């Protein structure tokens, strides 16, 4: 049986990017759209699946900012089409996110900061414009920001000009891409693939009946030791 200590260890293993993988060719209609961007490249935007759609006024601000860019934009968007949408922006219900992040023409990733998206961006070396919303998203993005690989924007005070300035900073300041590519090299430089590592340790725990010898002795301490420092 797995105890709480080993469950935490497995959780850490699964947070090391086991879902990251090489990109595959894009569907033809997406590839044609990406190639039409020319030398300017593409920006992709996705805010995950937990938040269905943003308030309409905020959506209009984001669309208006995108419309001023020379880049093409692929935006996973739910809800009504923004009135300010530019000809450079493609709205989609779903996107092959990993494959787009791995495309040579992708210049930036506008993201909410979910663990999977951040790790995929890091794996492929794509800098992030972060719009954190809930849960662990602010923490994930601030960790990237302090490493110079992301620009975090407060979505609750954001307008068109703030959003546009953030995107242009990430696009035109080379340090963002350089820092993310450095993190990508570190992320990839492992003795075995993250998924293989996760499988090994799951089977290790099963073979050794819970691997209690790896359980930290801190779990044997009385509960009041955890609150002793409060007083």
Nearest CA to 110 among 85, 86, 136, 137?
Answer: 137
Task: Return the domain boundaries, the chain.
Answer: 4-10+195-230, 28-188
Least confident of 9-18, 62-71, 157-166, 189-198: 9-18
Please check the confidence at residue 23 and state whether its pLDDT lies above 80.
yes
Residues 214-222, mean pLDDT to the nearest whole number: 75
Looking at residue 191, what is its pLDDT? 81
Give ∠ CA 107-189-31 in degrees, rounded to 5.
30
Give SS3 for 83.
coil
Cα gap 126→142, rounded to integer Å = 16
Give yes or no for residue 10 having a pLDDT over 70. Answer: no
Residue-wise pLDDT for 134-155, tens only, equals: 888 999 999 999 999 999 999 9
pLDDT 10s digits, 172-204: 999 999 999 999 998 888 787 777 888 888 899
What would be the CATH architecture of the domain defined by 28-188?
3-Layer(aba) Sandwich (3.40)
pTM above 0.85, yes or no: no
Q: Which two tokens stand for residue 74?
A: 């692929």
């Amino acid at each position: 049986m797995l105890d709480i200590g080993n469950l935490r260890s497995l959780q850490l293993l699964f947070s090391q990017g086991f879902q990251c993988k090489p990109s595959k060719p894009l569907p033809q209609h997406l590839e044609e759209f990406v190639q039409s961007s020319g030398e300017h490249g593409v920006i992709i935007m996705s805010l995950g699946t937990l938040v269905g759609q943003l308030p309409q006024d905020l959506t209009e601000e984001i669309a208006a900012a995108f419309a001023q860019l020379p880049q093409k934009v692929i935006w996973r968007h739910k809800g009504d089409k923004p009135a300010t949408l530019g000809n450079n922006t493609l709205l989609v219900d779903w996107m092959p996110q990993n494959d787009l992040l791995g495309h040579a023409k992708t210049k930036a990733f506008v993201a909410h900061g979910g663990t999977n998206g951040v790790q995929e961006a890091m794996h492929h070396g794509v800098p992030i414009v972060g719009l954190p919303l809930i849960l662990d998203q602010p923490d994930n993005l601030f960790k990237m920001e302090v490493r110079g690989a992301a620009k975090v924007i407060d979505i609750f005070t954001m307008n068109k000009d703030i959003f546009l300035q953030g995107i242009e900073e990430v696009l035109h300041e080379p340090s963002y891409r350089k820092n993310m590519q450095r993190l990508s090299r570190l992320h990839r430089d492992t003795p075995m693939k993250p998924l293989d590592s996760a499988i090994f340790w799951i089977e290790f725990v099963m073979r050794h009946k819970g691997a209690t010898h790896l359980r930290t002795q801190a779990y044997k301490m009385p509960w009041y030791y955890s609150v002793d420092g409060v007083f």
